[in-house]
Amino acid sequence: MPKIHDLLDKNEIASLGASLRAIDQKILKHGNKVGTTRIWFQGAEPYFDIFFELNHDEIVWFQFTLRGKSLSWNRKKPGFQTGNTNELNIDDVSFYAASKTMENDTHSDLEFITIVKSILQTRTEEAIFTKVLELFN
């Protein structure tokens, strides 16, 4: 089975980035902390989401999922964490479309991190994407 990295070219990366749309914040559960905001972007294809949690406009957590792969960052833990989601496991009898489980990689998938960064770079006109790109430095 080909890896996600082998399937994406520059045009597809641009298309994925352009497909991201902000989801109405009213449907998101808000954190208990004062100043906490959650932002959700969903792409045009299934299983393509980006979630951000901000506290006083600073990113404290984000999660990017695409085609059964995930990348997350948490201010409390240095570095990126890559992994796999259960979203593509259609034979999973416990599957429920509104839930997602993650299984972390033992070693970060550097190629997937590069793909995520490339997709995020297609949206640098928006402040949240500029902020998240700073985490890659």
Quick check: is 98 in a domain? yes
Quick check: is 83 in a domain? yes
Each residue's pLDDT tens digit, 19-66 = 999 997 766 555 556 778 899 999 999 889 999 999 999 999 999 999
pLDDT of 80 > 90? The answer is yes
Domain extent for 123: 4-23+37-48+59-134
Quick check: is 30 in a domain? no
pLDDT of 132 > 60? The answer is yes
**How many Cα atoms within 13 Å fall on the side-chain side of residue 123?**
24
Quick check: is 66 in a domain? yes
Residue corresponding to tokens 């299984």: 103
pLDDT of 88 > 90? The answer is no
Those residues whose C-beta lies under 8 Å from the C-beta of residue 1, and which sit 6 or more positions away, are: none
pTM for this entry:
0.82
Quick check: is 53 in a domain? no
What's the CA gap between 62 and 46, in Å, rounded?
19
Each residue's pLDDT tens digit, 9-32 = 899 999 999 999 999 776 655 555
Report the domain count for the chain.
Answer: 1
